[in-house]
Every structure is written in C-alpha cells, then in structure tokens.
Structure 1
Amino acid sequence: MKFEQVLQLVDAVSVSSLTEFKYEEGGVKISMKKAAEGTVDLTAVPSGRPEPAVRTEKEPAVPAAETEVKEAAPAGSSAEEEAGQTVTSPLVGTFYAAPAEDSAPYVKVGDWVEKGQVLAIVEAMKLMNEIESEFSGEVVKILAENGMAVEYGQPLFVIR
C-alpha cells in the first residue's frame, strides 16, 4: 500500500464517526483507532509477526477534503426492528446498488438471494468492492441509499 493510500484511509477514518478501523492486504495489517481529541492511532503490522513494524501514535488527523456525499443514517437504527439476518458493510466507502448508473439494481426488496450472490458495491479508494450475501433468503429491507456514504459494520440489507 502506498503512502498516499494510507493518508486517504486516515482521512476517511478521521471524518467518519468510526472509532476503530482494521485493514489487511499483501501481508500488511493496518489498524486505526480514534483518540478522544480527534487524533488517529495508526498501527501497521506485517502478517505473521506479533510486534508492529511501524507504529505511530496520535498522528494528527488529516483535514478532510470537501466532498458531496450523502451522510449515512445512524448504524443500527432500523436493522434491529426488522426480523432477519443483517448484511453489513465490510469497509468504509460509498454504497452503490447497481453496477452502473443506467443499470438495474443488483437486488430489490422482495428478491430471493443465495449465499454469495452480489447485493451491491461499496467503492473505497477508487476500488469497487462487491458486497456478497452472507445468507440465502428474501431481501426484506435495503438500509442504504445509492450514493450514500457507509461505514464499517453499518447494516446494509436485512435478509429473512
């Protein structure tokens, strides 16, 4: 992961209401925790090693670039009210219900989905990440809107 990408991650975590973020790729683990004063605790650990290779504590938060993104509804606001299993966002990014603007959404309320079926896309750091169903069943609720910013662990779908 390049330094600029790490800065983008720090920026994304800084402007979100997340308190903790973990990421693993290519033998490197990155763990970020927000401190009370809006600072970020950043730890990078190569996989398989118990001790951090790089540890920077209380890095100042990087100022957020102004963007035009819809804000997410508070996590868990209506997911617990619905009966069923919840599919959550595995990362921070922008939620897209369809593969392209002029395409039909991957799923709609009432559709039957199988485990492993693509439900949506979350764009993070210019990468499109497919969100697959963890369960088979009927989509009873879609909790995110197209183009909305989503956070790690935020409920996206309720499947019964």
Structure 2
Amino acid sequence: LQGPVNFRGVRIGVPICEDIWGDIAVCETLAESGAEILLVPNGSPYYRAKIDVRHQVVIRQVIETGLPIIYANQLGGQDELIFDGASFAIGADKSLAFQMSQFEEALDVTTWKRSRVASGAQNGNNSDSWVCSEGPMSKVPEREEADYRACMLG
C-alpha cells in the first residue's frame, strides 16, 4: 500500500473506490501512516437512495480514522451502468462539508483550513484537522426525479 502523498504540505491519503466499502483497513492504515485528509476517487453506480448509502460508508470511515474524507464520484453512463456524480465531503466531525450536484457536470472550489476538531475517532485522533470552511451544498433530486435524471444521463 502506497502511503500518503504530500501535496503543498498536506499529506493526502488516496484509498481508491472499494478500499472504503469493505472491511479492509486501507483508510485506517493511511491515517496511521500520517494522512491528514483522505481523497477517494470512486466509480459508484447509481441506484435509488445510493447517495445515503455512500454518506454512511464514508461516515463509518471517518469514525475509524478521525480524518475528513472527500468522495469524488464519476459521472456518466457506461454500458448498463449510470454514474451519478454527486461528489461530497464528510468532515472529521461527521458532518456533510459539501455536496456537489447529482446527474450533471459541476466544477467548484472548496476552501479548507486547519482547525482543532474533536473527531471522536476510534483511534483517538483529536488533534488539528482539515475543515471545509466553504463549499457548495447542492440539493440532490429525490426518488422519481432522480430515477428520471438517471435515465436521461444513461
């Protein structure tokens, strides 16, 4: 397992897709090796209410590591799969830090600052953490509207 990547003085752990979904301890290992924030590129296909499942999976990893997690999801259709985008971040305090739009391309800037956060992580990580102080909070479509947009995208 490659350790964290140093980018502009920030140690970024990069677990990829399935690394956060299973019981393997990739995120925990990255946290223990010095990661300050986790950036997770994902190709998570859409199904109704999947965004809630994603949030819960990421919150579970935040609890394990005490680190904020940015979840960057693919957008588009491929064969029978639809990727709905809707990238987001969960802070070390387990709150939704930002939410990008679902089913449409979006590019936005977020602002992160180092701050003291009591994360309540199982690993006892209550030191300085990165906090998203500014980012988009897009409303995601619900049920039938989401299904319709998925059909239009795919």
Scaled by the length of structure 1, the TM-score of the pair is 0.27
Scaled by the length of structure 2, the TM-score of the pair is 0.28
Larger Rg: 1
